[in-house]
Structure 1
Amino acid sequence: MPPEINRQDDEDIGEGAPHWMVTFSDMTTLLLTFFVLLFTFAQIDLVKFRMVLGSIKEAFGVQRVTQKGQFPTAENTPFQVFEYQKLDSVIEMFYRQAKIYKELQKAFKNVPGVEILVSERGIVVRAEDKIFFDLGKADIKPEAYPFLEKMADIIKEFPEYKVGIEGHTCDLPIHNVRFPSNWELSAVRATTVLRYFVSQGIEPKRLKAIGYADTKPLLPNTSEANRSKNRRVEFVFSVETEEQTFTRQFREVLRKIESERLKLKTEKSS
């Protein structure tokens, strides 16, 4: 006679968590580690940091509600934002972007006339032109080379990044044999910096130089102080990968973290 099956015990055994939940839990743990890493880099108040995370709660698609009885699919699970096979590369990309941001902050945040920003274009190091050039000239000043050497070292440390060197002027006109207008001045300045980076062993294909003349002022050209801000060189770090969507999300995270950090700094100083 076959053994009797205990139906009661069988009924007590639940189905357990869905299969996708295990992988999703791993992903959540990795993302939590990533945000803790950002918190360490930014050095902001924990409450402020949580406020930032709350403001981007939908950025990773984890707020969707699955109706009762609805089987999780690629369209209604939190995993829809990520392609499973790309998850490791996405996490690595996040880590690398946080690292280069930290390196740039460490190298240049205390240099007068320098700002480090995160924008849709990438991570931007904005430096006033007087750090590198005399007014109306495009020859690199000797005292600018330590700055450029540090920048070259960081560019070489992160070979996956392309770097755009952008020259900007104010609205003061220039007209001489070498520079018929601000277009030539801004372009030659950007190209001069690019050539220096190439001389330091950086691959030319990773670099580009652009001169914008006075077409992209930061402030109205109504005073010398404003004109000094508008005369600048910008170094734009960008990465071109299949994960560009995730890169844009990360940039938004950093932008909000930096905004909260500056707000907190202002509150403490007032």
Structure 2
Amino acid sequence: MNGQSHGRFAKWHIEPRQEEEQEAWLLTYLDMLTLLLVMLVVMLALAGKGDGQHARAATGAGAQDQTLSDQPLELAASAQPIPPIVANPAIVTPAEVDAREALAMDLGEDIEVIVNDGSISFRINSEILFGSGQAELENAGLDVIDRLIPTLVAGQHRILVEGHTDNLPIQTERFPSNWELSASRASSVVRYLQLAGIDATRMSATGYADIRPLGDNGNEQGRASNRRVELIMQTQPDKR
């Protein structure tokens, strides 16, 4: 080969340039680095774009939550149905009090009218209705009850008749104790009311003896207040 380079073929022979061969691989390496850099830039750009979308989505959700939280409380409350206001039947109005006071005046001083929650009590001293240690209604007692009958007949409320005594013991053949005496007095009133036209199914009779005193049984005035009959007209259904 070297001989040919100095022979007749010398004019067509070109010696390879060593520098070009050494630079060829370097160019290829640089091209590859350039491609890698371009790919890295593209990936970073895409990643940045995705973060922006997530940030906008988060910002939008936060703004929506803020908008909801900024709404007036009245709007949230109006979404719930408002229950109607129902009047409490146990509340006594001034007009009712006046009417009951007028009723008490019509009934006379012998009948004490007590307005309770869901009922009206008519309290009568037993000494007006009965003789001492007796359970039969006397004429004066009948007159007092007669004043009550129109009021009791007018309504359809339940009527509870209660007999009460003082703590002085009684022991007779008919009434061995105050229990029998108080129950018999209440029963006598119920029987008379039934004869006056009040339905028996509306009434009941109960004797409480001396277990529900109003006054002090240690003195005569207290014992006198404890000897009584109460007619309770229920203006509301019995809760028991």
Please state which band the TM-score falls in when normalised by the shorter chain.
0.5 to 0.7
CA distance in 1, matches of 2:202, 2:98: 19
Q: Could you tell me whether the CA contact under 8 Å between 1:103 and 1:154 is conserved in 2?
A: no
Q: Give the AA of the match of 2:133.
A: G
CA contact (8 A) 1:124 1:237 kept: yes
Matches within 5 A, 1:119-158: 119-120=116-117, 122-158=119-155
Cα deviation for residue 232 of structure 1 reads 0.5
Alignment-mate amino acid for residue 204 of structure 2: K
Is residue 237 of structure 1 aligned with residue 238 of structure 2? no
| 8 Å contact from structure 1 (residues 187, 210) kept in 2 | yes
Structure 1 residues 100 and 238, CA, compared in 2 at 3 Å: closer, same or farther? farther
2:70 is the counterpart of 1:71: no
**2:120, 2:235 within 8 Å by CA — same for their partners in 1?**
no
Does 2:105 match 1:106?
A: yes
The code of the aligned residue for 1:182 comes to N
Change (3 A) 1:73 1:152: farther
**Contact 1:122/1:236 (8 A) holds in 2:** yes
**Deviation at residue 73 of structure 1 after TM alignment:** 4.6
CA distance in 2, matches of 1:103, 1:166: 24
One-letter code of the match for 1:105? A
Larger Rg: 1 or 2? 2
- Pair 68,168 (structure 1): closer, same or farther in 2 beyond 3 Å: same
Where in structure 2 are there 5+ consecutive unaligned residues?
A: 1-72
Distance 2:177 2:236 in 1: 33
Which one of the candidate residues 181, 185, 190 is aligned to 2:186? Answer: 190
Question: 1:107: Cα distance to partner?
Answer: 2.6
Q: For residue 115 of structure 1, report the CA deviation from its aligned partner.
A: 2.1
Percent identity between the two aligned chains: 30
- Give SS of 2:78's match: coil
Question: 1:201, 1:99 → 2: CA distance?
Answer: 28
**TM-score, reference length from structure 1:** 0.54
SS at match of 1:172: coil
Q: CA deviation at 1:104?
A: 3.4
2:175 paired with 1:179: yes
Instruction: Tell me the distance in 2 between the aligned counterparts of 1:163 and 1:151.
Output: 12
Distance in 1 between the 2:187 and 2:95 partners? 27
Question: Contact (CA 8 Å) 1:167, 1:233: kept in 2 or not?
Answer: yes
Find the counterpart in structure 2 of residue 33 from structure 1. Answer: none
Please report how far the alpha carbon of residue 169 of structure 1 lies from its aligned counterpart in structure 2 after TM superposition.
Answer: 0.1
Within 1, Cα distance between the matches of 2:198 and 2:74? 56
Q: TM-score normalised to the size of structure 2?
A: 0.60
Q: Which runs of 5+ in 1 are unaligned?
A: 1-66, 246-270
- SS of the residue corresponding to residue 152 of structure 1 reads helix
Q: Give the Cα–Cα distance (whole angstroms) in 2 for the partners of residues 177 and 152 of structure 1.
A: 33
Task: Give the count of matched residue pairs.
Answer: 164
Cα distance in structure 2, aligned partners of 1:177 and 1:145: 26
Structure-1 separation of matches of 2:124 and 2:218:
20
Residue correspondence of structure 1 range 180-219 to structure 2 within 5 A: 180-219=176-215
Higher relative contact order (CA 8 A, sep 6+): 1
Question: Once the two structures are superposed, what CA deviation does each residue of 1:141-170 show, in whole Å capped at 9, x if it has no partner?
Answer: 1112221112111111112x1111100000
Task: Give the match for residue 45 of structure 1.
Answer: none
Aligned AA (2:179): W
Which residues of 2 match residues 152-171 of structure 1 at below 5 A? 152-159=149-156, 161-171=157-167
Q: Does the Cα contact within 8 Å between 2:118 and 2:235 map onto a contact in 1?
A: no
What SS does the aligned partner of 2:211 have? coil
2:113 to 112, 116, 124: 116
Alpha-carbon distance between aligned partners in 2 of 1:184 and 1:214, rounded to the nearest angstrom: 11
